[in-house]
Structure formats: structure tokens, C-alpha cells
Amino acid sequence: MDRHYRQNNVDLLFIGMGCLIFTLLIIVDIFQAIRQVSAIVILIFPTGYSLLACLYPDRSSLSPAERYFASIALSVSMLIIVGLLLNSSVGLSVWNIWIALCSLNLMFVFIAYVRRTRGGSGNNQPDFSSGDLGKSTKMCMQTAISERGRLSEFATLSLVLSVAKEQAKGLELLKMRCFALLSMTKTSLHTRSGNSAKLIPGIFVLLSAVFYFFAFIPEAQSVSPTTQLFLTNLNGKNNDSASIVSNTGKIRLVVVNRENQPMEYEMVSQVAAGANNHLAYLELDPGQEWSLVYELPSLPRNAKQRITFSLYLKDNASKPYRQVHVWVNNPEQ
């Protein structure tokens, strides 16, 4: 019996295919959420994973948690290196990024595949690529029965059985598939902590993806409803700060209703701590602007006083809704 065991490469298959599928989802852009998740996955995982597979063909040399974490860290590192190279050459268009990352990924996947298949790491994994379905299946069943199997082996078995549909006999095939699926479920529910520990990072990543959908809710783009009260010079612009109070001793007072509903206001002015002087009652429709040229009062020489303009809501006269003020330093001087 041929006992030539090699690592199965289903993870590389997933990474290679996944990279292409996810980038396709980004480019096709059917649903925004799918595009976002695809972009995040593409940028922070596969490059590092395939690079690790290149450097450590023997999967047992890194724990699952180490492999997942290092994949993210290396992906980010590679993204920076690739991004800087693109930025200094062809630019950062979506196509350039896509081509660069996919090429890099597929290259790493290819090298990892070659190293795994040629390296003959000597662990107890059946060779599914040998074409000998009977032997592979038997070994896989033995693995499952001895409860040492892993999800990937059974997934590969299922894949091999699908491909070999023509060669296998109907009922036997169904039984084998059922067996493979049941074994997968059983393995995933296995009670030994060793197997569970291998699934922890996977669970964490899965929950993170679900969590992302609930946590990340974009804010509405529109401007929040508000009322603007401002002072400008007579030209309507404050492009020179020294000229708000113009030589004529006048300023422009402006109210803009951006509340998305008709509003009623009262505008008053107050010189220093004196009494309020009523200036106007305003009824403004949404988006409507009101302005008033205000002549600043004459002050004694060398006097400096604050003139406050307060905008009250019609139904709330106790507290100013908006307030601005200007300091007047005897404009006649």
C-alpha cells in the first residue's frame, strides 16, 4: 500500500480562489457592505497567510492563533510595502492595487504549494491529489474514526468525491458524502479542548465579521438642522478681519434658517449692560435668509463697549437662541 502522505493544500486553494472572488466582488460592487467586507478581508489576511505558507510549509510549525495573527500583521506590512511601491510608480488606482495584491498572493500560493508538495513534510496527512480515490477515502475514514481528523481533511474529501462523481457508484457516493458531512460536524463539536482551541481564532474572526455589520453604521451625510446668526462687513464677507466694523460704522447682521421648517424669531440688540432694544420680528421659511445693516451707536471718546445681538425663538423669550457680539471703540475717531 502506498503510504505517501503529504499536506493537503485546501487552505491554499481557499486563499487563491478567495483572493480572486473577493476582488471580483470589490470590482463588481453589487452591494456596498459586501464590497467593504471584501476589501477588508483582502487587505488584512490572504497576503500574510500565503507568505506564511511559503515560509512555513509545515502547518504544524505555527499554532492556529499565531498563524491567524501573524497573517494579519504580515498582510498589513506587505500592504504598506506594496502600497509605497505603487505610490512611487504607477499610482494607487483600484486596478493597480488589485493586480499587485492578487499577483503577490498567487505567487506566494504557488511557492507554498511547490514547497509543500516537494518538501514532503512527513506528517500524517493523506494525499488527495494522487487520484487514488479508494486509498484516500479509506485513510480519511480511518482518520475520522480515530477522531483525529480536522475540518480541512473532510472538506477536501467532499471536494474529491464531487469531482469523482462520474467514477463512483451512486449509493456509495451518497453514503460517503453523508459520512463526510457528519464527520465534519462531529469534529467541529468535538469535546476535546485541543481541537476546540484550534477553532477559537476562527470563531473570533467569524463573530468579528458579524459584529462589523452591526457596529459600523455610516452617519447621514446631510447638514444638521440649525439656525445661523452671523456678522459680516457691508460686503458680506469677513475676508479681512480688521474690517468687520467698516469705516462707515455699520455692520451687517444675518440670520439664515436651516431648520428644515418655518421659524419665528425676535432679534434684539443690547449695548453694554443696557436694556434690550427690539430690532425685528422674523418669520423665515426653510433656507430663507434675513439681513440687516446695523448702524453702530456713537460712543464717548476712548470708550469701548460691547454690542450684543441676540436671537430669541418666538415661543422662548427667556434664553437667547443664538448670540453674537461686537466691540465698538468709538467709530467716530
Partner 1 sequence: MNLKSKFNNLTFIISTKIDTHLLTFAVISILILIPSYLFSRLRITDGFLFQVIAYVQLTLRSDHLKSFIAGGYSFNFVEYLPGYPLILSILSRLGGITPKELQFLPLAALFVPLGYYTISKRLFHSNGIAILFALYGAYDIGLVSHYNVFVYPWSNLLYFGYLIFYLRWIDRKQLEDLIIVMILFIGSLFLHYASTAWIIIHSISANLVLIAINCYSLRKTGANYHRRGSLALPTAFLVAFMTFNQMFYKVWLPSASSFTQKSASPFELLNSKIISYLYGSAESVEPYRFMNTWGQAFGIWRSIEYSFVFLPILVWILKIFLFALRRKPVFKDLDRNLLFVLPLFITALIDWGAYGVHSGFNFRYSLLVFPFISVMALNEIGLSRFIQKAFLAGLCLVTIITYLLGLKHYTTNPPTSYSETMAGSNWLLGQRLSGPILSDLDTLGQFLVAASESTAIFPRTLTYDAITYQSVVENTGVEDNRSEYELVLIDAKNLSKPLHGISNKYFEPLSLHVSSITRNDGLTKIYDDGRLWIFIR
Letters for 235-274 (x = contact with partner 1 by CB under 8 A, - = none) are --xxx-x--x-------------x----------------
Interatomic CA distance for residues 3 and 262, integer angstroms: 84
Applying CB under 8 A, which of residues 207, 280, 303, 317 lies at the interface with partner 1? 207
Stretch that binds partner 1, among 2-10, 29-37, 164-172, 287-295 (CB under 8 A): 29-37
208: contact with partner 1 by CB under 8 A: yes
> Whose Cβ is closer to partner 1: residue 129's or residue 295's?
295
Residues 61-100 interacting with partner 1 (rule: CB under 8 A): 63, 65-66, 68-70, 72-74, 76-81, 83-84, 87, 90-94, 96-98
Residues 237/240/241/245 CA torsion (nearest 10 deg): -70
At its nearest, how many Å lie between partner 1 and the CB of residue 131?
A: 25
Number of residues that bind partner 1 (CB under 8 A): 99
- Residue 2 CB, shortest distance to partner 1, in Å, is 25
Q: Which stretch, 5-13, 122-130, 206-214, 277-285, contacts partner 1 (CB under 8 A)? A: 206-214
Burial 208-217 (b: 16+ CB within 10 A, else e): eeeeeeeeee
Please tell me whether residue 19 binds partner 1 under the rule CB under 8 A: no
Q: What are the grid coordinates assigned to 13, written together? A: 486553494
Q: What cell numbers appear for 2 in the block?
A: 502506498
Angle between helices 32-44 and 10-28 (to 10 degrees): 140
Give 94 or 129: the residue with its C-beta nearer to partner 1: 94
Q: Which of 21, 107, 114, 182 is in the footprint of partner 1 by CB under 8 A?
A: 182
Choose between 67 and 127: whose C-beta lies nearer to partner 1. Answer: 67
CB of 84 to partner 1, least distance (A): 6
Residues 164, 292, 324, 331: which binds partner 1 (CB under 8 A)? 324
* Span near partner 1 by CB under 8 A; candidates 108-116, 122-130, 185-193, 263-271: 185-193
* 290 lies in the site for partner 1, by CB under 8 A: no
Residue closer to partner 1 by CB (options 53, 127) is 53
Q: 5 vs 230, which CB is nearer to partner 1?
A: 230
Site string for partner 1, 37-56 (x = CB under 8 A): -xxx-xxx------xx--xx
Binding flag, residue 160, partner 1 (CB under 8 A)? no
